[in-house]
Amino acid sequence: MKIGVIMGGISSEYEVSLNTGKEIMNNLDSDKNSICPIKIKSKKELIDKVQNLDFVILALHGKFGEDGTIQGFLDVMGIPYTGSGLVSSAICMNKDISKRLLRYEGIQTPDWLIVRNIDELKYQKIEQLGYPVIIKPNSGGSSIGTYIAHSQEEIFAAVREVLSLDNEALIEKYVKGEEITCSILNGNLLPVLSIKPKAEFFSYLSKYDKEGAEENAAQLTENQYRQIEQIATKCYEVLKCSVYARVDIIIKAGIPYVLEVNTLPGMTKNSLFPKCAKAAGISFDQLLELLIKYSLDK
């Protein structure tokens, strides 16, 4: 089978994507398959580069990778690919929409506001969220452009920065508690990891610096585990995910709050999804084989 690994892209997560692609390339079985690295910097490059491929592994992140655009393109081309389809990818990439759907289904998620320009801040009742607040692009990942603000002045400064990266800024109530990550493979929950960032929150540096956070098996009672399993898999189902996804959760006073759902989790050496798989006894190369199998079966 001729497999293309698409990496790079047009988002601010370009370097993260290259690292994901490199790690995938290093662990794919080249004896069974013909492996084609496809590094892109624009949408126009794709048409010629994906011709005659039997399958695509998406190592992209951010816009054009996780937002359903490339998924729709590959659907039209008739080329199967890893992960969720167009609809799920688009929904999960838009944090405002995905949070609305989760809340409608009775799943707890921190309160939030959306602003599209600085002037809107004057009319939003941000004080109802309390301080501090988290400010981030509505459609972004890897905590790029994510800030924590403790005052109105810091909110204005952070929103300006975020709006330089995205059309919408999400202002979210800061929930302080135990952060866990729930990796789901083919609808089944893998071992849950607890994350203790050394920074004030799980920032970009915390995620990709091997010394940026402590990650250990989450210490959950059987009842807590069942609750987390139910919430994470419900998120996966409600948002129409397929093959694999990662659900990030904060537990405060025993209540799990879903932060977001990632349809193309990072696959670098320091990424959480491969660590969860490893805790389940699944090596990186085995994980890739499973992703290909489940993607072809979907």
Q: Which of 8, 246, 257, 295 is the catalytic position?
A: 246
Respond yes or no: is residue 244 known to be catalytic: no
Respond yes or no: is residue 13 known to be catalytic: yes
Q: Phi and psi dihedrals of 14, rounded to 5?
A: -55, -50
Respond yes or no: is residue 208 known to be catalytic: yes
Q: Which of 23, 67, 166, 260 is the catalytic position?
A: 260
Q: Which of 94, 203, 262, 271 is the catalytic position?
A: 262
Q: Which of 9, 12, 13, 183 is the catalytic position?
A: 13
Q: Which of 248, 257, 271, 295 is the catalytic position?
A: 248
Respond yes or no: is residue 52 known to be catalytic: no
**SS3 for 65?**
coil
Q: Which of 17, 98, 138, 142 is the catalytic position?
A: 142
Respond yes or no: is residue 100 known to be catalytic: no
Lookup: tokens for 297: 């079966």
168: number of Cβ within 10 Å: 18
Respond yes or no: is residue 266 known to be catalytic: yes
Lookup: tokens for 145: 């452009």
Q: Where are the beta strands (DSSP E) in 104-202?
A: 112-115, 133-137, 147-149, 169-173, 178-185, 188-189, 193-197
Exposure b/e, 30-60, CB count within 10 A at least 16 = b? eeeeebbebbbeeeeebeeebeebebbbbbb
Q: Which of 4, 21, 68, 266 is the catalytic position?
A: 266
Q: How far apart are CA 62 and CA 40, in angstroms?
A: 14
Q: Which of 81, 147, 174, 208 is the catalytic position?
A: 208
Respond yes or no: is residue 225 known to be catalytic: no
Q: How far apart are CA 73 and CA 59, in angstroms?
A: 15
Question: Any idea which residues carry the catalytic annotation?
Answer: 13, 142, 208, 246, 248, 260, 262, 266
